[in-house]
């Protein structure tokens, strides 16, 4: 009995001692962590760190949050017809008068647009112009003062490997900044794009980042964030120089008039050399010609190989797309082509690209096409 009481007393004292030990001061002076007293980054890293933080802080006043209320389509199921659909995106100020750049798919089907500035003020946005082919839109807000426009840089000077910041409002989280590099300059995810190289980056571009600026370390907007792969690890931005080319048309006409030839095209391959009596693999193969379109009226035929337009040498289908798209509608151009191995020249009047209904409504989050997408592309 006495032995049992002793064991109970010893156990009780052990518990009390443990409690006192837990509540008492630790080896680090009463805290359960160690304070850092003199830790510091290497001078060069600290300088870069500070410069990036300063850059992000300087750019954020020009960033805006775009909120869209969409109208429901007539065929929307009854159970989904309670509240109009809402979505969000990003944009940035390019002119103190209230002009704002964003993506066309951000404002797709909008019944009302609200633009929230970095200081929290809200304004109703009006669509000035839009182009679904490149996915660019221009908005205008009235009554805002003290706006901070972000400058557009020269995207042609951008090099693969350069540091960039992607600003936006992903998932509705305002004033977000992600950091990365330029991964590539080349074809975007959308087949409808008119042959211009887009900027590929690994800076995170998530839903809601669309329309925000992609910025270089000099604080210049060198791209407009537009689309990303499903997991967000690959993002694409519309190059600033293309934006500069389109903004005047969006501001004055509300749209972009793209040039149109009316042919289905593909690359020339080794298998085509004998059949087409070619000496080398170059130029753009015309697979078919759309009846009544500019190429047909100008005398272009199927199996012709286009090698130049108005002195511009063409090496690939994207070269032809870029040249034709950027040529003013109604202009007569000299088309140099190879027909059964012989060089010939025809004159074609550039027509107007008509957007197809199937591509007129892009989803808010565009995904890449499968790797085996067809080579042929209309132009």
Q: Which residues are catalytic?
A: 105, 135, 210
DSSP character string of 21-56: HHHS--TTSS-SS---SS----HHHHHHHHHHHHHH
Contact at 8 Å (CB) between 343 and 336? yes
End-to-end CA separation in angstroms for the chain:
101
- Give me the residue label for tokens 């027509």: 351
- Please give the angle made by the CA atoms of 241, 243 and 247, to the nearest 5 degrees: 125
The token pair that represents 131 in the structure block = 């182009």
Q: Which residues pair with 233 in a beta bridge?
A: none
Tokens of 69: 């209320």
233 within 8 A of 202, measured Cβ to Cβ: yes
Angle at 318 between CA 227 and CA 273, to 5 degrees: 140
Q: Is 219 exposed, middle or buried (0-12, 13-18, 19+ CB in 10 A)?
A: middle
What's the rounded Cα separation, in Å, for the pair 56 and 58?
A: 5
Q: What is the largest CA-CA distance in the chain?
A: 118
Q: How far is CA 65 from the centre of its chain?
A: 16
């Amino acid at each position: 009995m006495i032995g049992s009481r002793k064991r109970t007393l010893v156990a009780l004292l052990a518990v009390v001692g443990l409690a006192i030990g837990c509540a008492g001061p630790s080896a680090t002076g009463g805290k359960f962590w160690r304070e850092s007293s003199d830790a510091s980054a290497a001078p060069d890293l600290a300088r870069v760190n500070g410069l990036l933080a300063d850059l992000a802080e300087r750019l954020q006043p020009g960033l805006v949050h775009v909120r869209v209320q969409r109208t429901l389509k007539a065929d929307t199921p009854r159970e989904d017809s309670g509240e109009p659909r809402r979505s969000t995106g990003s944009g940035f100020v390019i002119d103190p008068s209230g002009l704002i750049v964003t993506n066309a798919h951000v404002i797709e089907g909008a019944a009302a647009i609200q633009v929230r500035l970095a200081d929290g003020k809200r304004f109703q946005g009006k669509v000035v112009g839009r182009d679904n082919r490149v996915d660019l839109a221009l908005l205008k807000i009235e009554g805002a003062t003290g706006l901070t426009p972000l400058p557009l840089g020269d995207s042609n000077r951008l090099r693969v490997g350069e540091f960039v910041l992607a600003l936006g409002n992903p998932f509705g989280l305002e004033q977000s900044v992600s950091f990365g590099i330029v991964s590539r300059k080349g074809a975007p995810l959308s087949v409808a794009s008119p042959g211009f190289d887009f900027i590929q980056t690994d800076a995170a571009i998530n839903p809601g980042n669309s329309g925000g600026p992609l910025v270089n370390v000099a604080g210049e907007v060198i791209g407009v964030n537009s689309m990303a792969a499903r997991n967000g690890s690959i993002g694409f931005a519309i190059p600033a120089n293309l934006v500069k080319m389109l903004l005047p048309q969006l501001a004055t006409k509300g749209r972009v008039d793209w040039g149109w030839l009316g042919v289905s095209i593909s690359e020339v391959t080794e298998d085509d050399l004998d059949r087409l009596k070619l000496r080398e693999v170059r130029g753009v193969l015309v697979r078919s010609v759309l009846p009544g379109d500019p190429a047909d009226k100008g005398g272009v035929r199927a199996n012709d190989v286009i090698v130049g337009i108005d002195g511009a040498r063409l090496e690939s289908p994207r070269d032809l797309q870029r040249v034709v798209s950027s040529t003013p509608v109604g202009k007569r151009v000299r088309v140099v082509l190879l027909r059964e191995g012989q060089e010939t020249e025809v004159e074609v009047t550039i027509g107007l690209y008509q957007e197809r209904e199937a591509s007129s409504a892009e989803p808010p989050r565009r995904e890449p096409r499968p790797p085996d997408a067809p080579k042929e592309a209309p132009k």
